[in-house]
């Protein structure tokens, strides 16, 4: 055993004389000093390999003795794909954990083991309960945690695991929208990559912005370093569609001898409503009522000075995917101070919540007369109050409503539960009908009303409580 120990020291001394400097880098990019040295003779390799196999029968020789690398290089460098070299504890081994590349952990979670009182390093073996370490210039061994040369003071150990990069960001990104992602604890020299339905827009520091360009239900972003993907984040890609004509409600009435209207959309993420009047001399401004408690319900005021022409008031909604393709009529308004006809989309369903009878009612729909149609032929631009929600200018030609007789023949009500199963269905004529929900389980339902004019239903969320 003395000869083995003496040769170990001797190779350590000659190694410093014949060393060629190399630089390693921690996963976080810190520079680590190491060196390369000449190999021992073939006879020495055979001799010391045999000596250690015999001296430590409870350990397994995994690789022959060699002068070209040691325990620290094997554990922290070579096992991570690094070059073959010799790495001493001093001056730079501490950088592997001091720069955050590795964090201290428990033995169960350990990937690397540092024998801090014995200048030795090991890695966790795939064989349960075993470590693997290079014993100086001697063989690479698989051994129990405390089985090996006494100079390593094997009971004194610290355990480390890689501090993995983690990506955080938006859990979903809508089509044609941007989303920002951040990588925490990134390695040196990483790049961002993504699925084909995301396009990188920009990067800044540890963040990257991507734009959704496809309609896939799942996408991902990741970082890559050294040709290897090392962190990945999945995100749902929502296919945002413009609001449907049937998705939102518009109603109208009078306010201080003027007209008012309000709209609310059942679709999410509505960022703007747009109103127009088809008729001369009408202006649209912000309703004087506070809007602070109505995030998705925007009110407006409609005036005409001097009163001269009738008009049709219409509204549409906007989200990140664009404008609804159709306009919802809110009202037919008369210059002489009366509503010619409120919108056939002015539907009420009450009470809500409901326990037994749900009352469904439409406001009356009237035919716009030829006289009114002629008066409405000239569209006007909107005068918007800049302090209000943006009211954009649009031009629209007159549309003729359905007659009341046509509507009376076509109305239908359907009620669906949250699973999408139809639980009620009925056809009716007139402006009113009722649904008995007393035998339905309490919960959330969706009422679909086909008004006889539009192919798509108007939808209301109904809460059944008993």
Span 29-36, average pLDDT: 94
Does the pLDDT value for residue 42 go beyond 50? yes
Name the residue with higher pLDDT: 325 or 136.
136
- In the block, residue with structure tokens 């190491």: 34
Q: Are residues 189 and 299 in the same domain?
A: no
- In the block, residue with structure tokens 């100086």: 136
Of 162, 183, 213, the one marking the end of a domain is 162
Does the pLDDT value for residue 399 go beyond 70? no
Q: Are residues 156 and 172 in the same domain?
A: no
pLDDT at 111: 94
- How would residue 245 be classed by pLDDT, with cut points 50, 70 and 90? low
Residue 186 DSSP one-character state: P
Q: Are residues 262 and 175 in the same domain?
A: no
Q: Are residues 252 and 334 in the same domain?
A: yes
Q: Are residues 174 and 287 in the same domain?
A: no
Count CB atoms within 10 A of the CB of residue 4: 16
Domain coverage including residue 87: 2-162
Span 84-100, average pLDDT: 95
- Can the peptide bond before residue 306 be classed as cis, meaning omega within 30 degrees of 0? yes
Q: Are residues 203 and 329 in the same domain?
A: no
- How would residue 254 be classed by pLDDT, with cut points 50, 70 and 90? low
Strands 31-36 and 20-25: antiparallel
Q: Are residues 426 and 286 in the same domain?
A: yes
Does the pLDDT value for residue 297 go beyond 50? no
The domain tally of the chain equals 3
Does the pLDDT value for residue 435 go beyond 80? yes
Q: Are residues 233 and 309 in the same domain?
A: no
- Residue-wise over 302-316: b if at least 16 C-beta within 10 A, else e? bebeeeebbbbbbbb
* pLDDT, tens digit, 9 for 90 and up, residues 186-242: 888 899 999 888 889 999 989 999 988 765 567 889 999 878 888 888 877 665 666
Q: Are residues 258 and 389 in the same domain?
A: yes
Name the residue with higher pLDDT: 369 or 361.
361
pLDDT at 240: 61
- How would residue 373 be classed by pLDDT, with cut points 50, 70 and 90? very low
Q: Are residues 202 and 250 in the same domain?
A: no
Strands 228-238 and 172-174: parallel
Of 116, 137, 162, the one marking the end of a domain is 162
Which of the given ranges, 71-75, 214-218, 254-258, 424-428, has the highest pLDDT on average?
A: 71-75
Of 109, 129, 162, the one marking the end of a domain is 162
Q: Are residues 155 and 186 in the same domain?
A: no
Tokens of 91: 């001056």
- Give the HSE-up count for residue 401: Cα atoms under 13 Å, Cβ half-sphere: 28
pLDDT at 202: 93
pLDDT at 226: 79
* pLDDT, tens digit, 9 for 90 and up, residues 323-368: 776 677 666 666 555 544 444 345 678 888 899 999 988 654 333 3
Q: Are residues 224 and 271 in the same domain?
A: no
**What is the CATH number for 195?**
2.60.40.10
């Amino acid at each position: 055993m003395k000869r083995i120990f003496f040769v170990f020291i001797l190779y350590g001394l000659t190694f410093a004389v014949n060393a060629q400097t190399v630089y390693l880098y921690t996963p976080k990019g810190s520079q680590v000093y190491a060196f390369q040295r000449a190999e021992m003779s073939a006879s020495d390799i055979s001799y010391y390999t045999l000596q250690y196999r015999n001296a430590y029968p409870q350990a397994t020789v995994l690789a022959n003795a060699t002068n070209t690398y040691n325990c620290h290089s094997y554990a922290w460098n070579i096992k991570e794909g690094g070059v073959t070299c010799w790495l001493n504890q001093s001056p730079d081994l501490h950088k592997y954990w001091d720069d955050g590349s590795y964090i201290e952990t428990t033995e169960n979670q350990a990937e690397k083991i540092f024998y801090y009182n014995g200048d030795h390093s090991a890695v966790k073996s795939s064989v349960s309960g075993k470590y693997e370490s290079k014993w100086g210039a001697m063989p690479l061994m698989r051994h129990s945690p405390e089985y090996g040369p006494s100079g390593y003071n094997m009971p004194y150990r610290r355990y480390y695991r890689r501090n993995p990069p983690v990506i955080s960001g938006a859990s979903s990104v809508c089509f044609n929208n941007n989303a920002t992602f951040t990588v925490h604890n990134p390695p040196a020299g990483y790049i961002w990559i993504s699925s084909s339905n995301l396009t990188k827009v920009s990067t800044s520091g540890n963040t990257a912005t991507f734009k959704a360009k496809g309609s896939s239900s799942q996408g991902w972003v990741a970082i890559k370093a050294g040709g290897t993907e090392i962190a990945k984040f999945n995100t749902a890609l929502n296919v945002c569609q413009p609001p449907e004509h049937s998705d939102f409600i518009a109603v109208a009435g009078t306010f201080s001898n003027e007209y008012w209207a309000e709209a609310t959309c059942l679709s999410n993420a509505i960022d703007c409503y747009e109103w127009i009047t088809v008729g001369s001399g009408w202006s649209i401004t912000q309703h004087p009522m506070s809007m602070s408690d109505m995030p998705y319900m925007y009110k407006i005021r409609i005036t005409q000075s001097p009163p001269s022409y009738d008009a049709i008031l219409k509204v549409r909604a906007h989200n990140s995917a664009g404008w609804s393709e159709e306009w919802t009529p809110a009202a037919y308004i008369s210059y002489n101070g009366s509503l010619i006809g409120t919108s056939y989309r002015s539907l009420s369903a009450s009470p809500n919540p409901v326990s037994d009878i749900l009352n469904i009612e439409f406001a009356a729909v009237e035919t716009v007369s030829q006289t009114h149609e002629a008066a409405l032929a000239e569209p006007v631009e909107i005068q918007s109050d800049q302090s209000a929600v943006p009211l954009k200018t649009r031009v629209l030609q007159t549309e003729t409503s359905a007659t009341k007789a046509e509507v009376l023949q076509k109305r239908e009500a359907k009620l669906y539960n949250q699973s999408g199963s139809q639980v009620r269905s009925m056809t009716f004529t007139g402006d009113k009908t009722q649904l008995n929900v007393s035998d339905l389980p309490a919960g959330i339902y969706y009422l679909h009303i086909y008004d006889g004019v539009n192919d798509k239903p108007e939808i209301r969320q109904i809460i059944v409580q008993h």
